[in-house]
Structure 1
Amino acid sequence: MDVETSYAKLYMDPDLHHSSGYFREGVVTLEEAQKKKVDVILERLRLQEPSLRLLDVGCGWGATAIAAADRYRADVTGITISQYQHTYARTRISRRPTAAPLVEFHLRRWEEFTEPVDRIMCVNAFENFENKEEFLPHCRRLLRAEGRMVMLTVTADRPIFRVAPSGRIVEWAERAGFDVEISPSLAGDYARTLDLYVGNLRARRNEVIALVGESRFIRQVDYYSRCAGFLRSGINDMFEFTFTLR
């Protein structure tokens, strides 16, 4: 196993979600919160009709894509620009005989994906895109009639950490031809997720340092702690956006 995946296993949930969990009523642990997030997003996508083609943009280590295939028999394509995530996701699906025929993972940028799909999800990946303004028009061109897209992303009213204001995202979406629904703020959910990452890193400090070094341990703890602080203070926010074809 590569170093980055081994590192992720030291502080993320068992399914390796490097994204916010959803801390609904009765949800306490990181693993529970990540499972709840997957439940909510897949429900919002409305995958009940069998064999819908789903694109997972920024699929990470592949857990949500596999869940969509397992639960809804969706035909899923996950794309990532991370070689280690791609390798792990492909290994993971090879061990899931019920989902394997329905899931493909590709090492590909979103700009390079041009095949028609019925649904799109993008979970805490949009923040890292360079050409954000073109992403939603590109997705609009991919979606077939009655298509639907769910995107979870951090926002900011002023530029910070390369994230976009929520109003700008709505503007881009409407200009592209989407109707937009926005969740209530989920900033507290992400802050709590980051707190748990920090707690796990500190609890396994010696293992983390042995794997990636003390300087990276310090940087990572500081980064997650600052991000949680920004979310709690209102400098950053986070929302779940649902886009439907107008």
Structure 2
Amino acid sequence: MNRFLSHLVRRLIKTGDLTIKFADGSDLRLGDGTGEPVTLRFNSARAERAVALDPNLKLGECYMDGEIDLPDGDIYRLLEILFKNIQLNSTAPTKWVKLIEQLRRIPAHLLEWNTLGRSRSNVKHHYDLSGELYDLFLDPDRQYSCAYFEDPSMDLEQAQMAKKRHIASKLIMDREGLKVLDIGSGWGGMGLHLARQFNARVTGVTLSDEQHAVSKQRAREDGFAGQVEFKLLDYRKLDQTFNRIVSVGMFEHVGRRHFGTYFDKCAEMLADDGVMLLHTIGQSEPPTPTNPFIKKHIFPGGYIPSLSEIVLAVERSGLVITDVEVLRLHYAETLKAWRARFLENWDKAAELYDERFCRMWDFYLASCEAAFRWQDLVVFQLQLAHRPDAVPLTRDYIGRSDRAPHRVKKANESARKKREAKAK
């Protein structure tokens, strides 16, 4: 039995039902016996030492490499016990764990320079994985960001459509032909929604070759090739003005050192009477380093901002914050749906990659869901403008305008008939 690890978990685990099986054959029973039993088995003394010395990184890596197993329960249930106990016992982390996190801040500062080249490399690491992988767990529109569960009974597809409607309402798509910029346009779903529902002229930018190819193909197949343009381009290289700017799930990749650049550029590109909607994962507590496992293996160069960091950069850019909404458990429910689908398609994912990759993604999805449920992760939606009168005086328009107004719908119908006639 690793005495240091035993000391750590004895201090932490007060509730739940956790049994740890050490590599030497000894067992340790922890908690008060409530809840679903979970058994964590270490397959080597090396794994015990690694987790004891750097739990925030090595727990995930040891699971990924098969150096720990869970004969009872699964990785999500293990994280549930750990995170709930951390919630109840905020003094549980030792000085050693806190020291590791402080030391991790030093190289983090060096790696947060997301230059044009490094940003492209970081994006390719994650978003240029096989499109077949994402089809295994995303909705058909490939919305890879927090859904919006207006009703708890919604399935993933309904909640992702609700998310697009909710964002569009905050953009105030009140007339046809609006020029819209989508920063971090992904596989094109948000841009195509705005074109389809509001007859907008959309420019989408991404740094992912895979996403760029798919989004261009979708625009052609849907008859929007002349109305929606997707570019393989860094937003910092744009030199245009737009009536609306939307950015969903991209700001997490900007990097703390580039927040000022991001909002300065958005202010430059947004028309005087324009509206912007930023949708980003954030921390509800003061700034802390991004989880080391996620940063190393899933999103290199990523950083989860606190609201205080975002607001300071917005203020310095000259933009005005006209609305803020905090989506709390919506992403936990989204990740729950993604992980359930991923687990159902584990064998297919293993055929695309391997078992180690599947375990890595299982830990990624499970740990993120757990962090949104029991730690400080949330989603911020910030509505921004140059002028405080760019949006209505009261925010009840958000509920009323979740779908296109009548005159825009008529324009959509006219545009649809033109596209169909052209296709014939």
TM-score band w.r.t. shorter chain: over 0.9
Q: 2 CA distance for matches of 1:184 and 1:117?
A: 23
Deviation at 1:84, TM superposition (A): 0.3
SS of the equivalent of 1:146 reads strand
Q: 1 CA distance for matches of 2:345 and 2:331?
A: 21
Q: TM-score, normalised by structure 1?
A: 0.94
- Could you tell me which of 70, 82, 87 is aligned with 2:208? 82
1:153 aligns with 2:280: yes
SS of the equivalent of 2:280 reads strand
Q: 1 CA distance for matches of 2:349 and 2:360?
A: 12
Percent identity between matched residues is 26
In the TM superposition, what are the counterparts of 1:157-176 in structure 2 within 5 Å?
A: 157-161=286-290, 162-176=303-317
Which ranges in structure 2 are unaligned for 5 or more consecutive residues?
A: 1-127, 291-302, 388-424
Letter in 1 for 2:145: S
Which ranges in structure 1 are unaligned for 5 or more consecutive residues?
A: none
Deviation at 1:151, TM superposition (A): 0.7
Judged with a 3 Å threshold, the aligned counterparts in structure 2 of structure 1 residues 104 and 38 are, in CA distance, closer, same or farther, namely: same
Q: TM-score, normalised by structure 2?
A: 0.56
In the TM superposition, what are the counterparts of 1:1-246 in structure 2 within 5 Å?
A: 4-25=130-151, 27-97=153-223, 99-130=224-255, 131-156=258-283, 157-161=286-290, 162-246=303-387
Q: 2 CA distance for matches of 1:209 and 1:29?
A: 26
Could you list the per-position Cα deviations for residues 91-120 of structure 1 after superposition, in whole angstroms to 9, with x for gaps in the alignment?
1111112x3321000001111112111110
Letter in 2 for 1:104: E
Runs of 4+ off more than 6 Å: none
Moved more, 162-171 or 198-207: 162-171
- When the two chains are superposed, the root-mean-square deviation of aligned CA atoms in Å is 1.5
Judged with a 3 Å threshold, the aligned counterparts in structure 2 of structure 1 residues 27 and 149 are, in CA distance, closer, same or farther, namely: farther
Q: 1 CA distance for matches of 2:264 and 2:153?
A: 36
Which protein has the larger Cα radius of gyration, Structure 1 or Structure 2?
2
Question: Higher relative contact order at CA 8 Å, sep ≥6: structure 1 or structure 2?
Answer: 1
Could you list the per-position Cα deviations for residues 98-144 of structure 1 after superposition, in whole angstroms to 9, with x for gaps in the alignment?
x3321000001111112111110000110011322311111000011
